[in-house]
Structure 1
Amino acid sequence: MLFDSRDPHDERGGGAALALLAACQLVLVVDASIVNIALPGIQRGLGFTDAELSWVVNAYTLAFGGLLLLGGRVGDLLGHRRAFIAGVALFTVASLAGGLATAPGWLLAARAAQGAGAALAAPGSLALIATTFPDGPRRSRALSVFAIAGSAGMVAGLVLGGLLTAWTSWRAVLFVNVPVGALIALLAPRALRESRAREGRFDLAGALTCTSGSTVLVYALIRAAEHGWGDGLTVGAFCAAAVLLASFPVVETRVRQPIMPLGLFGERDRVGAFLMRLLLTSAMSGMMFFLTLYVQQVLGYGPLATGFGFLPTTVALIAASRAVPRLLPRYGAQPVMAAGALLCVAGMVWLTRVPEVGSYGAVVLGPVLLFGAGTGLVAVAATFVAMASVPAEEAGATSAFLQSMQQIGGSLGVAVLVTANGAAAHDASHGGTAQVDGMRDAFTAGAVFTVAMLATALFAFRRRPADQADDQVGDPVGDPGRSGSQI
């Protein structure tokens, strides 16, 4: 029998549901980074060329980021639990296929299928919190746990990838998803309440436009990181993405049930939350990319030690995230996000001064603690604001757009910071000085993202009187007193 949040076992059932949803979100985010440390083993085992190897990561990112909006709307129309289980099942089967791969094409196809499954499951994870946690305080705690899982996943992927690669083989980074995914898919029908399916036609024109536009944009960012922003195919991809995405709102105004309700962008705070998530992920992904290189190439750490070196980020992130549900009723979302952004600025500016000779404690520990705490504050508060007062029938679309900002931001951050890093970081003939100078330039570009995030927190949100802060957070994803339908 399905869990009913009104029965006497509400707390126990709700805990099981939250564990499943958070575990799914963690696995999906982890999978975007866990294979990074395993790439040398994959190249040796399957015979990838250097040019092909990057697509072990990119195939997943491209499918995940490009199909998120489509996945969110499928859940809105057919039911989020149904879409969630289907996505988890596809992701699990694709992980098994990838672990069994014997040729490069086989693995790349499996990684793309993993991304498609993730795009179907991820929006449902956040939307299902609404159907499982109808009351404000418990939903606030659930959203906090969910945001922690998503933000910590990138770091957890580095640690887990290092452990699995060191102890077993590269195939383990794919096989590890299989028992977890199978368990989630089996338990979901009992632990999760199905959302109400929405009657109506599927917006095929909108689906094609947004899916192709998002996919081409992510591809353009990936190619910019590999071949530069002036590359002909990169420029062409950006132009095609611009045309597709510009035509998307035009298409949506002409259909009765759009795949992305444009009314979601009429709320100033929600748009600000989307932008905060984009900028945060851009800064964090770029920072993690180059700090991983710095710790290994300059400080001389191995892959496993490097992964554990980022654990303080997760500790600080969890500690700050747990404080957000208590801070929001007192201060409101804007000051919390501004404080988090300021911590991220401080951490990134610190990294712009990385030396050629240093130690982990003096160079790395301080910035990762600051950035972890800042990420915890911003990620949770932005998730609360983005999902505030969203009608149930639009929960999947809102969740999908919020998570698409995370995927696009990740690609954008790496592309911009790689460009700023310049050729000096890859030219061994110039010696260590040029390499570290390139990393400093990359971190400087990352600091620009964090400053933009701080400016967004300060100026993009409405200021709320103190007596309204509790209303903003008491039921962060829907106030029954204001609307007959809430998340």
Structure 2
Amino acid sequence: MTAAIDVRMSPRHKAVLALLLGTQFMLAADFSIFNVALPAVGRGVGLGLAELQWVATTYALPAAGFTLLFGRVADLAGRRRMLFAGLALLAAASLLGGMANDPVALLAARAAQGLATAIAMPAALSLITTTFPEGPLRARALGLNGALTAAGFTCGALLGGVLTGALNWRWAFLVNVPVALVILAAGPRLIARDRDTGRDPNGRSSGGRGARLDVPGAVTVTLGLLALVWGATTGGAARWALVGAAVLLGAFWFVESRSPNPLAPVHVLRRATVALGNLGGLTTVSMATGATFLMTVHLQEELGLSPTATGLAFAATGLLALAGGAVAPRLIGPLRPSVVLGVGLAVQGLATAGLLVAGNVAWVLAGLAVCYFGNMVALVAYVVTATSGLPHHEQGLATGLSAMAQQVGMTVGIPLLSAAATVLGGVHPASGVAAAITLAVAAVVWLPGRATHPR
């Protein structure tokens, strides 16, 4: 009887979850909503073809660079407060973008949207992990979150195309405004105020008035992530920024090991569940994003599909991802989350390997469908793995790390596999690289995870 009650969501739980999932869907859709609309955006504000990449880059830089920082700020200042602040900024930035008439205003609005994502996404995710206790309820909530996030990425491109065709490109910005305002109006009545998290096991204040932000850690990790994203997305001479990223992230680890109030305590970063979970998350997101790009090129350039048909094909194959989001929570429990993460990565890697010999449309779509299924299983399992076993006052940090892994993965996957396709002479061998990386990480995550992750 007790077990049955423990895994049942109350009506209030369902309402809070719906609100948070709506937030995550909107933030995920914002990442891809301009993919189809870019040419119209360029014509509207005077951006040339070579400059259109900045619409994506100005969003990705703050979205990936500030996520970890604001995940920890949510622990200190309050997750509810940071969620509402991020949504308010998103609404204002979207309104500014919808009214932009020149490149500076448009790119400023896109950068502000990326910053809003960095503020709101880890706050929303940590509200899920702190609202639902560790176990079946949290696994179910994170499964729905993974499915809705994947649906947001998929629907973003379709929504951008529909809005641009039926109205104009400005609605790709403006559509966020009423959605954010509805969430801001309903949120205060549904989401409880952050409870005092008290003190951590070492007696330090974990939140509230007595807490201090680790400024050196915040500066080094934020600049390091910005340099990483800049080097990965810009190319050319900017690739030297990757060296700076390595130096800054190394300095971040040094600072954290000696800080009395670290932004990301080293004992958390060293936890096998945190390290393996985020490694799996970074891999599954980056390789799925890169494989999607490779097959987009293959379907249009070599197999002759139109852009519209390609978009519809991806939407159809993405339906199997929703099944992965439903299956993953059922596997977590009988199996350890890290084992489920390894299984999801293995399925994704084997399906990607099948794309090595994809010679027709049906084969490509079948391979991608199975790839997306494994990707969704891995997405759910990596968040559960990376946030399990951590106290309440470190959930913002844990979800900030997992959101950062996701944002960085989406940013670096396409440049990495594009470079592989250039060096190896085509999308098929580059698919082999994606498969090899995914399967190698599946083994790394699964083997030690069996022994280190608590049930």
Would the TM-score normalized by the shorter structure come out above 0.5?
yes
Give the count of matched residue pairs. Answer: 437
Alignment correspondent of 2:326: 322
CA distance in structure 2 between the partners assigned to 1:417 and 1:120 by the alignment: 29
Give, as a single letter, the amino acid of the residue that structure 2 aligns with 1:206.
G
User: The residue matched to 2:194 in structure 1 has which SS?
Assistant: coil
Shift of 1:209: 1.1
What is the match of residue 305 of structure 2? 301
Question: 1:68 aligned to 2:56?
Answer: no
Contact 1:316–1:369 (CA<8 Å) still a contact in 2? yes
> 1:268, 1:462 within 8 Å by CA — same for their partners in 2?
no
Please give the secondary structure, in 2, of the residue aligned with 1:111: helix
C-alpha displacement at 1:21, in angstroms?
Answer: 1.0
- Give the aligned residue type for 1:315: L
Deviates more, 1:454-463 or 1:318-327: 454-463
Judged with a 3 Å threshold, the aligned counterparts in structure 2 of structure 1 residues 449 and 423 are, in CA distance, closer, same or farther, namely: closer
Is the aligned partner of 1:40 residue 2:44?
A: no
1:91-137 CA deviation, whole Å, 9 max, x = no partner? 11111111211111111110000011110101111111134224633
Q: What is residue 220 of structure 2 aligned with on the other side?
A: 209
Deviations 1:177-231 (A, max 9, x none): 111111112211111123235031121111111111111111111123xx3xxxx
**What is the Cα deviation at residue 140 of structure 1?**
2.2
Q: Which residue matches 1:396? A: 396
Task: Show CA shifts across 1:360-400 (max 9, x none).
Answer: 3x232211211111012111111111110211111111111
Aligned match of 1:136: 135
**Shift of residue 22 of structure 1?**
1.1
- Partner of 1:427 in structure 2? none
Q: Secondary structure at the match of 2:449?
A: coil
Q: Which runs of 5+ in 2 are unaligned?
A: 197-206
Answer yes or no: is the 8 Å Cα contact 2:229–2:411 preserved in 1. yes
The whole-number CA distance in structure 1 between the counterparts of 2:59 and 2:252 is: 24
The residue number in structure 2 matching 1:12 is 11
1:462: which partner in 2?
450
Question: For 1:172 and 1:379, how far apart are their aligned partners in 2?
Answer: 30
Matching of residue 222 in structure 1 with residue 220 in structure 2: no
Cα distance in 2, alignment partners of residues 305 and 169 from structure 1: 21
Contact 2:83-2:121 within 8 A present in 1 as well: yes
Report what 1:449 is aligned to. Answer: 437
2:159 corresponds in structure 1 to: 160
Asked if the contact 1:162–1:307 (Cα under 8 Å) also holds between the matched residues in 2, the reply is: no
Instruction: Quote the residue 1:432 is aligned against.
Output: none
| Structure 2 CA distance for partners of 1:135 and 1:288, relative to 1, 3 Å | closer
Counterpart mapping for 1:269-284 below 5 A: 269-284=273-288
Equivalence map 1:18-417=2 (5 Å): 18-134=17-133, 136-196=135-195, 198=207, 199-224=210-235, 227=236, 232-235=237-240, 237-355=241-359, 358=360, 360=361, 362-417=362-417
Counterpart residue identity of residue 345, structure 2: A
Letter in 2 for 1:283: M
Identify the range of structure 1 (294-303 vs 214-223) with the bigger mean alpha-carbon deviation.
Answer: 294-303
Q: State the alpha-carbon separation in 2 of the partners of residues 203 and 64 from structure 1.
A: 20
Contact 2:277 2:338 in 1 (8 A): no
**Identical columns (%):** 36
**In 1, Cα distance between equivalents of 2:327 and 2:383:** 14
1:157-181 deviation per Cα after TM superposition (whole angstroms, max 9, x unaligned)? 2222232233222222111111111
Work out the CA distance in 1 between the residues paired with 2:214 and 2:152. Answer: 32
Q: CA deviation at 1:10?
A: 6.8
1:320, 1:376 within 8 Å by CA — same for their partners in 2?
yes
Instruction: Extract unaligned runs of 5+ from structure 1.
Output: 1-5, 425-436, 473-487
Deviation at 1:151, TM superposition (A): 3.0
